[in-house]
Amino acid sequence: MTQPLFMVGARGCGKTTVGQTLARVLGCAFTDTDEMLWRSNGKTVADIVAEEGWMGFRARESEILASVTQGQTVVATGGGIILSAANRRFIRARGTVVYLNVSAQELARRLQAYPEEAQRPSLTGKPMIEEIAEVLATREKLYQEAAHHIVDASQAPDDVVYTILQQLSSAISD
């Protein structure tokens, strides 16, 4: 792997968990754009959204994305990073994009088990399962458009990593 590997998908799909394991297996660095935002600003996603709105947050997110795409690294992106056409073009051109696809029901189960409200503010103010279904409906096409590989991420994280490694290996040998 000579370029960044970008993990995209809805919040709770496993981008960070899978990405960390994948980076370890590949022997490369790992970066989480949400964590980088927090480190560079000293504010959580929820704090930035409260102070600057979603547009301000998305602008900061795009800046962070551009700053973390050096060399061999696995990058866990924020769930909405693909909302920007420029970001979608950027990640496709700069590396390999893996979409971690998970059903709305599974995402709701995961987010209820690990809510992290400070990091994951509501996007619509609706009940969780409704919000997730609505967000997935609007973003699904964008995730697919950005992705070089689509992986069923409803499996255990190690199984997801294995599937990604198989897909990457197949792509190299094609």
Is residue 168, in this structure, part of any structural domain at all?
A: no
CATH code of 21's domain: 3.40.50.300
pTM, full prediction? 0.87
Closest CA to 73 of 118, 24, 144, 34: 24
* Domain total in the chain: 1
Is residue 31, in this structure, part of any structural domain at all?
A: yes
pLDDT of residue 84: 92
Note down pLDDT in tens along the chain; length 174 residues: 578 999 999 988 999 999 999 999 999 999 999 888 888 888 887 888 889 988 888 899 899 998 887 778 999 998 889 999 999 999 999 999 999 999 888 888 877 766 554 445 555 667 777 878 888 899 999 999 999 999 999 999 999 999 999 999 887 665
Contacts of 62 (CB under 8 A, 6+ apart): 81, 84, 86, 87
Contacts of 167 (CB under 8 A, 6+ apart): 98, 149, 151
Q: What is the largest CA-CA distance in the chain?
A: 48
Is residue 30, in this structure, part of any structural domain at all?
A: yes
Half-sphere exposure in the Cβ direction for 139 (13 Å, CA): 27
Is residue 27, in this structure, part of any structural domain at all?
A: yes
- Residue 149's SS3 state is strand
Is residue 162, in this structure, part of any structural domain at all?
A: no
* CA distance linking residue 84 with residue 81, whole number of Å: 6
Kindly give the interhelix angle for 45-67 and 85-94, rounded to the nearest 10 degrees.
40
Is residue 145, in this structure, part of any structural domain at all?
A: yes
Is residue 32, in this structure, part of any structural domain at all?
A: yes
Which domain, by its residues, includes 41? 5-155
Amino acid at position 107, single letter: L
* CA distance linking residue 122 with residue 99, whole number of Å: 22
Question: Look-up: residue for tokens 């920007």?
Answer: 84
Is residue 128, in this structure, part of any structural domain at all?
A: yes
pLDDT of residue 118: 45
